Amino acid sequence: MNPHTKLISYLSLLLGTTITISSNHWMMAWTGLEINTLAIIPLISKSHHPRAIEAAIKYFLVQATASTLMLFSSMTNAWLTGQWDITQLTHSTSCLLLTTAIAMKLGLVPFHFWFPEVLQGSSMTTALLLTTMMKFPPITILFMTSHTLNPTLLTSMAIA
């Protein structure tokens, strides 16, 4: 991989993580998550092995689905309450959709089948990035909205 491409990918990962962690608006948090997703895909597929390409496609599809759910959750909340602030998530349907989206992004129990396969197709450095740095933005969103999330859903996911 070209050193300039690698540098741009790593800087984009830092930028996306910083944007998501420091945002109070749903669109900025979503933008940061998308920057992270698009920055890690070249790092996953850099070996040009079929397994790495498959891992990159799986990662992209799962993350795009989770991002769509998160955006739909925030739009539903904004439509019903008029608030785009992350801490003002008050509608129950929006809370359920957001919990599902965050669980998909983190690879939590009901949605965890993609994660080992993506790690298997990645290099060690990329796998370390996926298991550490790529978890910070969704966990931050989870903490920022923890007071409004459905405890029954979180408990059932923890038990599973």
Residue-level pLDDT at 121? 92
Question: Three-state SS string across the chain, please?
Answer: CCHHHHHHHHHHHHHHHHHHHHCCEHHHHHHHHHHHHHHHHHHHCCCCCHHHHHHHHHHHHHHHHHHHHHHHHHHHHHHHHCCCEHHHCCCHHHHHHHHHHHHHHHCCHHHCCHHHHHHHCCCHHHHHHHHCHHHHHHHHHHHHCCCCCCHHHHHHHHHC
Q: Write down the pLDDT at residue 52.
A: 93
pLDDT in tens, the chain (160 residues): 788 989 999 999 999 999 999 999 999 999 999 999 999 999 999 888 899 999 999 999 999 999 999 999 999 999 998 888 888 888 888 999 999 999 999 998 888 899 999 999 999 999 999 999 999 999 999 999 988 888 888 888 888 8
Q: In this predicted structure, what is the pLDDT of residue 92?
A: 87
- pTM equals 0.91
